[in-house]
Chain A
Amino acid sequence: MPDTFQWRLRGRCYKLGDDVPHAGGVVPNWIIGGRYFDPKDIIPHLFEETDLGFHERCRPGDIIVTGRNFGMGPKMNGYIAMQALGLGLVCESMPFLAYRAAVGCGVRVMTDCVNVTQICENGDDLEVDFRDGYVINHTRNIQREYPPIPDTLHELIALGGNAGWLEQWWKNRQSTASA
């Protein structure tokens, strides 16, 4: 696992409400139906239907904070873009397969963060530590603890998700075999 991986992000808050679906909320439906998996194809359309121009305004380290039931559907497209943009994701709740898809894409994500939308607003200066499990709102001087990313998933996320993890696993296996 890379030692330099940033588990703590600091950036601006982009707050969303409850029940944001993946198709038509995180990315347009045609991105999913068209099976676009290259981040450069997806990034211009991330949150396009709810926040036009989001991809131009966001910066690495910014945090998407959502209400309950975020990202309905086991789709990966939007998370591929979030990971490539260096964004963090903090949700009050996610359907399990949405969480699994985000982790599989290497997104720094915390879910079951009860009432997190009540402690921040759009544009607030947030600091989130995904390994130790806390959110600090520097704008409002509020700190909360939440369930961190489980230890057993750290390597998967630090390696950028499923593909990166599998590539590393295979390299390790090959080097072990040839040793």
Chain B
Amino acid sequence: MTAAEKILARASGLDRVRAGEIVYPTPDFVVIHDGLVMGTKQDLDALGIDRLFDPDRVMMVTDHDVVYLNERAVARGAFNRKAAEAWGVKGFYDAGRGGHGHLFPTERGLLLPGMFYFDNDRHCTNAGGIGALAIRAGAEIGRVLATGTTWTVVPKSIKLTIEGRVQPGVYARDIGFHLGAILRRSDVDLDYRVLELAGEIDPFSVAQRVALCSTPTEMRAIGVFFPPSQHVLDYARERAQRPFTPVYPDADAQYDSELTLDVARLEPQVALPGAPHKATNLSEVAGVKVDHAFIGSCGSGMYEDLEIAAGILKERRVAPGVRLLVVPGTEDSTKRLHREGLLDVFQQAGAFVLPAGCGPCASGRMGLLHSGEVSICTATANAPGRFGAKDADIYLGSPATVAASAITGKITDPRSFL
């Protein structure tokens, strides 16, 4: 079996499952974010359903609307607090209490290798960074919250073998953008597939693994899975809130297709405005003037991502006319940035640090773009209007590329700052 099949078989109480089967897995937990609570609770209330399948296995996270910028958001926040109380959910991570729901469960040892969970949001693919699997339930999250499961087609998996090691200044997000471009040109379809990594992946830290989950998600992958290395197992054991059993694919696992990617000569990548898979070598767009830069999101919001950016910004200044927003993924990362003196680095550079969460990437609730402006950022997606004016251009890069570009005021290869 593939790793995805093994995890779903275990969660479904079956010895084995095959891609294409429909199963009803019991999740280790369920995550719903702040934007979905109100509609979901109102739908359940309308049916008279006033209790959840197991409140102790539910996490309500607050990452999309952390700083209420309008009356609607204020009302939603108040509703969510009452909902948590009414449902008896102790795992309610209100604004300021956790951060990004696709990052803090990993950092806090709530999400561990081999686990399975349901989430309303598609970026739960980040679970693969630690060697777990999460399935997006979307609007059916109400059924999951009420009954504990929903019908789940076991996804096919695609095996991606990484060869070589990246050069200094090239990071997992660069690999992700490049992979997106390759997949787009190929006949490999990621729709509802799990991308299972193999090959020379031991050097990938947890943050790098999480970062590589982003672009395939935007190309409709339902999951990305890294078999956990010794380093990842150590990371998980240090913080585990419960026992766990890591899962690895069988040697004779059946994959929908197999790909190999040599990353040794990869240059820093930039995704052109429109989609993360519209990747090109950074050198092709070097010099494009930018007005806005943003480091964060579930694709690049872990401590290590911010540390890389801070390393470039240290004792340097953001260019006049550029605003640089730094959004730590989690409250724990913000505290650690403070302890390590990196908050000061960002502030001395002229950047400003926003509360933990999705930042501008959550459908434009803060840090927006004006008509005609240009952003270089680490958002997960860059369709027109992702955050702000539809005629603004959003380029995507690694945290290092964004930091370097913020310093010069134009898209810049970070290797010149290392």
A residues contacting B by CB (< 8 A) are 74, 76, 95-97, 100-101, 104, 150, 152-153, 156, 162-163, 165-167, 169-170
Distance of B22 from chain A, by nearest CB (Å): 5
Interface majority SS (helix, strand, loop, mixed), chain B:
mixed
Give the residues in chain A near B340, CB-CB below 8 Å. Answer: none
Contact digits for B178-204, partner A, Cβ 8 Å, 1 yes 0 no: 000000000000011000000000000
The answer, yes or no, to whether B78 is at the interface (CB within 8 Å) is no
The answer, yes or no, to whether B139 is at the interface (CB within 8 Å) is yes
The answer for the CA separation of A165 and B146 in the assembled complex, in Å, is 12
Is A150 in contact with B22, judged by CB distance below 8 angstroms?
yes
Is A153 in contact with B22, judged by CB distance below 8 angstroms?
yes
Chain B residue at smallest Cβ distance from A69? B191
Chain A residue at smallest Cβ distance from B48? A170
Q: Which of A96, A100, A101, A162 has the most CB of B within 10 A?
A: A100
Is A170 in contact with B47, judged by CB distance below 8 angstroms?
yes
Is A156 in contact with B151, judged by CB distance below 8 angstroms?
yes
Is A74 in contact with B146, judged by CB distance below 8 angstroms?
no
The answer for the CA separation of A100 and B43 in the assembled complex, in Å, is 19
Is B191 in contact with A163, judged by CB distance below 8 angstroms?
no
Of A96, A152, A156, A162, the residue contacting B191 (CB under 8 A) is A96
Distance of A124 from chain B, by nearest CB (Å): 29
The answer for the CA separation of A162 and B142 in the assembled complex, in Å, is 9
Is A162 in contact with B143, judged by CB distance below 8 angstroms?
yes
Of A76, A165, A170, the residue contacting B139 (CB under 8 A) is A76
The answer for the CA separation of A76 and B146 in the assembled complex, in Å, is 21
The answer for the CA separation of A151 and B192 in the assembled complex, in Å, is 21
Listed by A's residue number, 12 A-B pairs whose Cβ atoms lie within 8 Å are A76-B139, A96-B222, A97-B192, A97-B220, A100-B140, A101-B139, A153-B22, A166-B44, A166-B49, A169-B147, A170-B47, A170-B48
The 8 closest A-B pairs by CB, nearest first: A96-B192, A167-B47, A152-B22, A95-B191, A170-B49, A74-B138, A170-B47, A166-B143
Is A96 in contact with B151, judged by CB distance below 8 angstroms?
no
The answer, yes or no, to whether B259 is at the interface (CB within 8 Å) is no
19 A-B pairs besides A76-B139, A97-B138, A104-B139 with CB distance below 8 A are: A95-B191, A96-B191, A96-B192, A96-B220, A96-B222, A97-B220, A100-B138, A150-B22, A156-B151, A162-B139, A162-B140, A162-B142, A163-B47, A166-B44, A166-B47, A166-B49, A166-B146, A169-B146, A169-B147
B residues contacting A by CB (< 8 A) are 22, 43-44, 47-49, 136, 138-140, 142-143, 146-147, 151, 153, 191-192, 220, 222
Is B222 in contact with A104, judged by CB distance below 8 angstroms?
no
Distance of B47 from chain A, by nearest CB (Å): 5
Give the residues in chain B near A152, CB-CB below 8 Å. Answer: 22, 151
Give the residues in chain B near A96, CB-CB below 8 Å. Answer: 153, 191-192, 220, 222
Chain B residue at smallest Cβ distance from A93? B191
Distance of A175 from chain B, by nearest CB (Å): 13
The answer for the CA separation of A167 and B140 in the assembled complex, in Å, is 13
Chain B residue at smallest Cβ distance from A35? B39
Give the residues in chain B near A169, CB-CB below 8 Å. Answer: 146-147
Known pairs A97-B138, A162-B139, A163-B43; A170 contacts B146 (CB<8 A):
yes
Q: Which of A76, A156, A162 has the most CB of B within 10 A?
A: A162
Chain B residue at smallest Cβ distance from A174? B48
Chain A residue at smallest Cβ distance from B44? A166
The answer for the CA separation of A104 and B150 in the assembled complex, in Å, is 11
Is B143 in contact with A153, judged by CB distance below 8 angstroms?
no
Give the residues in chain B near A167, CB-CB below 8 Å. Answer: 47
Give the residues in chain A near B220, CB-CB below 8 Å. Answer: 95-97
Distance of B76 from chain A, by nearest CB (Å): 14
Chain A residue at smallest Cβ distance from B46? A163
Give the residues in chain A near B48, CB-CB below 8 Å. Answer: 170
Q: Which of B43, B47, B48, B222 has the most CB of A within 10 A?
A: B47
The answer for the CA separation of A167 and B147 in the assembled complex, in Å, is 12
Chain A residue at smallest Cβ distance from B192? A96
Distance of B119 from chain A, by nearest CB (Å): 14
The answer for the CA separation of A167 and B49 in the assembled complex, in Å, is 9
Distance of A32 from chain B, by nearest CB (Å): 13
Distance of B348 from chain A, by nearest CB (Å): 42
The answer for the CA separation of A74 and B146 in the assembled complex, in Å, is 21
Known pairs A95-B220, A96-B153, A152-B22; A166 contacts B142 (CB<8 A):
yes
Give the residues in chain B near A104, CB-CB below 8 Å. Answer: 139-140
The answer for the CA separation of A123 and B136 in the assembled complex, in Å, is 38
The answer for the CA separation of A22 and B205 in the assembled complex, in Å, is 38
